[in-house]
Amino acid sequence: MRGRESDGHNELSGTVDGPAVQAGTVHGGIHIHTTGDRTTGDRTTGDRTAGEPPEPRAPWQLPPSAPLTDRVAELDALEHCRRLAEERGHPTLAAVSGLGGVGKTAVALAWLHTLRPLFPGGQLYATLGAQSSGEPADPAEVLSRFLRSLGVPAGQVPSGLAERSALYRSLMSDRRLVVLLDDAVSAAQVRPLLPGGRNVTVVTSRWRVPGLSVDGCYMIHLGPLDPEAAVELLAATLADDRVAAQPEEARALVELCAGLPLAVRIAGARLAARPRRHLTTMVRALAEEHNRLETLAIEGDHNVRAALDLSYHGLPPAAARLYRLLGLHPGPEFGAAAAEAALGEDAAEPLDLLHDANLLIDIGEERYRFHDLVRLHAMARLSADETPGERGLALRRVADHYLATATRAEEIIDPQHRTLPRGYGAGPVVVADLGDDADTALDWLEGELPTLMAVIRLARPAGFGAVAWQLADAMWPLFPRRKFYEHWRAAHEEGLAAAEETDDAPAVCRMLTSGGLGELGMGNHERALGMFERAARRFRDSGDAPGAARTLNYRGLAHQRLGRLDKAAECFALAAAELPGHGDPRAGGLARLNLADVTLAEGHHERAAADAEAAYTTLLDTGDAYNAARAAVLLGRACIGRGLLDRAEDRLLAALATLRGMAAAYEAARALESLADLAERRGRYELSRDHYREAWDLYSTAGRSESPAAKAVRIRLEQLDGPGGPTDLTGDRTVAGPRTGEPGTDG
pLDDT tens figures, 206-223: 777 888 888 889 999 887
pLDDT higher than threshold 90 for residue 600: yes
Identify the helix (H) or strand (E) that includes residue 659: helix 645-661
Which pTM value belongs to this model? 0.64
Q: Please give the pLDDT value at position 134.
A: 64
State residue 452's pLDDT score.
98
- CB neighbour burial string for 702-725, b if at least 16 within 10 angstroms, e if fewer: bbbbebebbebbbebbebbeeeee
Confidence at residue 419, expressed as pLDDT on a 0 to 100 scale? 83
Which residues 6+ apart lie within 8 Å of 613 measured at CB? Answer: 631, 635
Confidence of residue 27 (pLDDT cuts 50, 70, 90): very low
- Return the percent helix, strand and coil in the chain, to nearest 5: 60, 5, 35
Alpha helices in 23-159 (DSSP H): 72-88, 104-114, 139-149
Specify the pLDDT at position 110. Answer: 93
Q: What pLDDT, in 10s, does the model give residues 405-440?
A: 999 999 998 887 778 999 999 989 999 999 999 889
Residue 728: predicted pLDDT: 41
- The pLDDT-based confidence of 132 (bands split at 50, 70, 90) is low
Position 262 scores a pLDDT of 76
Most confident option among 307-316, 536-545, 727-736: 536-545
Is it the case that residue 472 has pLDDT exceeding 50? yes
Of the candidates 348, 350, 469, the residue with the CA atom closest to the CA atom of residue 420: 469
For residue 162, is pLDDT > 90? Answer: yes
Number of CB atoms found within 10 A of residue 25's CB: 4
Q: What is the pLDDT of residue 24?
A: 44
466, 507 in Cβ contact below 8 A?
Answer: yes
353-to-348, 359, 690 alpha-carbon distances in Å: 9, 9, 59
DSSP string of 680-708, one letter each residue:
HHTT-HHHHHHHHHHHHHHHHHTT-TTSH
Cβ atoms within 10 Å of 90's Cβ, excluding its own? 13
Q: Which pLDDT score, from 0 to 100, does residue 18 have?
A: 45
pLDDT at residue 32 above 50?
no
Rounded to a whole number of angstroms, the distance between the first and last alpha carbons of the chain is: 57
Residue 72 burial (C-beta neighbours within 10 Å; 0-12, 13-18, 19+)? exposed
CATH number for region 317-386? 1.10.10.10
Find the mean pLDDT for residues 685-707: 86
pLDDT digits (tens, 9 = 90+) for 81-95: 999 999 998 999 999
Which of 53-62, 184-193, 417-426 has the lowest average pLDDT? 53-62
Say what the pLDDT of residue 674 is: 94
In this prediction, residue 463 carries a pLDDT of 96
Return the pLDDT at 268.
84
Q: Where are the alpha helices (DSSP H) in 132-260?
A: 139-149, 161-172, 187-190, 227-238, 242-245, 247-256
pLDDT tens for each residue of 493-510 = 999 999 999 999 999 999
Which of 86-100, 284-298, 513-527, 732-746 is predicted with the least confidence, judged by mean pLDDT?
Answer: 732-746
pLDDT of residue 305: 65
pLDDT band at 363 (very low <50, low <70, confident <90, very high): confident
Residue 275 has phi, psi (to 5 degrees) of -60, -15
pLDDT of residue 33: 42
Of the candidates 306, 364, 379, 433, which has an alpha carbon nearest to the alpha carbon of residue 133? Answer: 379
> What pLDDT was estimated at residue 733?
42
Amino acid 725: pLDDT: 55
Average pLDDT estimate for 462-491: 94
Q: Rounded to whole angstroms, how far apart are CA atoms 595 and 18?
A: 36
Predicted confidence (pLDDT) per residue in 228-262, tens digit:
999 999 998 898 999 999 999 999 988 877 777 87
Pick the more confident residue, 563 or 416.
563
Report the percentage of the chain scoring pLDDT > 90: 59
In the predicted model, is pLDDT for residue 42 greater than 60?
no
**Dist. CA 387–CA 390, nearest whole Å:** 5
**% of the chain with per-residue pLDDT over 70:** 84
Task: Report helix, strand or coil for 219.
Answer: strand
Q: Which of 47-56, 70-79, 221-230, 399-408 has the highest mean pLDDT?
A: 399-408
Residue 359 and residue 10: Cα distance in Å, rounded? 16
Residue 161 has pLDDT above 90, yes or no: yes
Q: Residue 372's pLDDT is what?
A: 65
pLDDT above 50 for 297: no
- What band does 360 get if pLDDT is binned at 50, 70 and 90? confident
User: Residue 40: beta bridge partners?
Assistant: 33
Residue 304: the pLDDT is 58
Q: How far apart are CA 515 and CA 506, in angstroms?
A: 14
**Number of Cβ within a 10 Å radius of residue 383:** 12
CATH 1.10.3980.10 fits 72-222, yes or no: no
Q: Are 518 and 488 in contact (CB under 8 A)?
A: yes
Q: What is the pLDDT of residue 272?
A: 86
**Amino acid at position 393, single letter:** L
Residues 382-397: what's their mean pLDDT? Answer: 96
